[in-house]
A and B are shown apart, each in its own frame.
Chain A
Amino acid sequence: MIAEILVLIFMPVFVSFMGLLFMGIQRKITARVQNRIGPPFYQQFIDVMKLFSKRENIGHNWVFDIGPIFAIVGMLTTMLFIPMGGFRLLSMDGDLIVVMYLLVISGLGMALGAGASGNPNAGIGVMRGLTLMMAYEMPFVISVLAVMVYYHTTSLAEIVGMQSGMWALIILPLSALVADMALQAQFGKKPFDQPIAPAEVATGPIVEYGGKYLGMLMVAHSIGMFVEAGLFIDIFLGGGLLFHQPGIIWQVFNFLFWVLLVFALYTLAVLVNAIMPRYRIDQAFVFYWKWPTIIAIIGLAYALGVSVW
């Protein structure tokens, strides 16, 4: 009980800290890819510190105010259900389905807050964000369905447990590929960053958020990075569990390996981001409902076939 409460307090702090660190490293990597020197790796902490120390915070109304809170709380709630490198806070039957629903809450809350600002750019950004969400959820859900069908369960903990022999990435490579494509849009990286495209809609939903609001959104983003990558790792990479012996030292190693996997997934998305232009929103929609969906359906058929015979 005490240990669970400690984990409950420790995880959000740890995850937001590491998320900000990863985002700083990511800016450095992007800069090196583009032949620049780039900011120091702790730049993201400076940014958040500056945002929280702004003298003025311009709000509009209370719905606008709860937007960032929604974003953080939505992500934290999702985090409770996701096994993170051996740490599991809440688990039950069918939590994979619950997680699929909860993942959307953060984005919807942001949409609510952004819409309340009354800025037309925010409206366009929200529209693009929801369209994109609809686009990537389709192949993503099908590929997750393949995993559910293969393992005959909808419990994340059981899925993680059954992968102790071999990762689902190796058994179901097509579904994993599709889920990683969807991850690119979940992270909001190019070529799927239409909702926050600075040159087109002036950062979209967050156009009116400055100061402390933006600081909170950055923290929410860094939690979200771990949630989204963590879900992928749980489903396809065996939950980041490298060692299966009991013992605290192996648990620590498992957890570190999980963090490393999150970093690897995020870096992959960032490297794609660094060299890619941006799709138009209709192109992105057509892309997601075409090739990834086709591959995902083939992957689902494969999973069905393998699990039956």
Chain B
Amino acid sequence: MVDDEKIVSEDMGVQVEKNENMEMRSFGTVKRWATKRSLWMVHYCTGCGGIELAPLMTSRYDMERFGMHPMVTPRQSDVLLITGYVNIKTLKRIIRTYEQMPDPKYVIAFGSCPINGGPYWDSYATINHLDKYIPIDLYIAGCMPRPQSIVRAFEDLMDMIQDGTADGYMRYKKYYEPYKANQEKIFRKWW
């Protein structure tokens, strides 16, 4: 089992180095601007949150203002939004979806359940810390968060993409072994 703190703290170094080498080339700024203004989202609604997404996509909050669009296939999307509790069965699907998305990709965890388990912290079927299994760029706390806070989170994500701090996909590549070890530990033999 890998310590979460360790992954995060070690990663700060990686991120700065990557920024200087790859992201800060001449077209880097334009590319990141385009990426942040056209985030396509695949949403994985496990527990709560499906209700919040409907007003978000339609005329009440209209996330297409920011160029965001719900997408149905992981190959075409940039953001993976995971809402509500994650149990072991859905975790498997989440990991597969995440691994099918092309880089750069970002993950937003929604609700208190993916953060620390929420009310289901002692369930035999759910996992408590989602960031042990896939890297997460942004959390939205709350049980359950309102659509406004999702809009706020998207704005934060856009800022993070602009200054290069949304680097979960690099972390996943760099710490692939520990992440895989964690995943295998929970799935045991039926992975």
Contact = CB atoms under 8 A, between A and B. Distances in A.
A214 interface: yes
Interface stretch (A46-54, A78-86, A127-135): A46-54
A49 B33 CA distance: 10
Contacts of B76: 203, 206, 209-210, 214
A53 B23 CA distance: 12
B73 A202 contact: yes
Nearest to A58: B102
A34 interface: yes
A39 B64 contact: yes
Given A46-B34, A46-B67, A53-B34, A202 B72 contact: yes
Interface in A16-45: 27, 31, 34-40, 43
Contacts of A47: 38, 67
B118 interface: no
What interface size band does chain B fall in? 20 to 34
A40 B35 CA distance: 15
Contact of B75 (A27, A40, A208): A208
B136 to A, nearest CB: 19
A53 B101 CA distance: 14
Contacts of B77: 210
A124 B100 CA distance: 21
B64 A27 contact: yes
Given A202-B73, A203-B76, A37 B38 contact: no
B58 A55 contact: no
B64 A57 contact: no
Given A27-B64, A43-B67, A50 B34 contact: yes
B59 A198 contact: no
Nearest to A49: B34
Interchain residue pairs A-B with the least CB separation, the first 10:
A210-B75, A56-B102, A49-B34, A55-B103, A53-B31, A50-B34, A36-B62, A56-B103, A50-B38, A202-B72
Interface of B: 27, 30-31, 34-35, 37-38, 58-59, 62, 64-67, 71-73, 75-78, 100-104
19 contacts: A31-B64, A34-B58, A37-B62, A43-B37, A43-B67, A46-B37, A46-B38, A47-B67, A49-B34, A50-B38, A53-B27, A55-B103, A57-B102, A198-B72, A203-B72, A203-B73, A209-B76, A210-B101, A211-B75
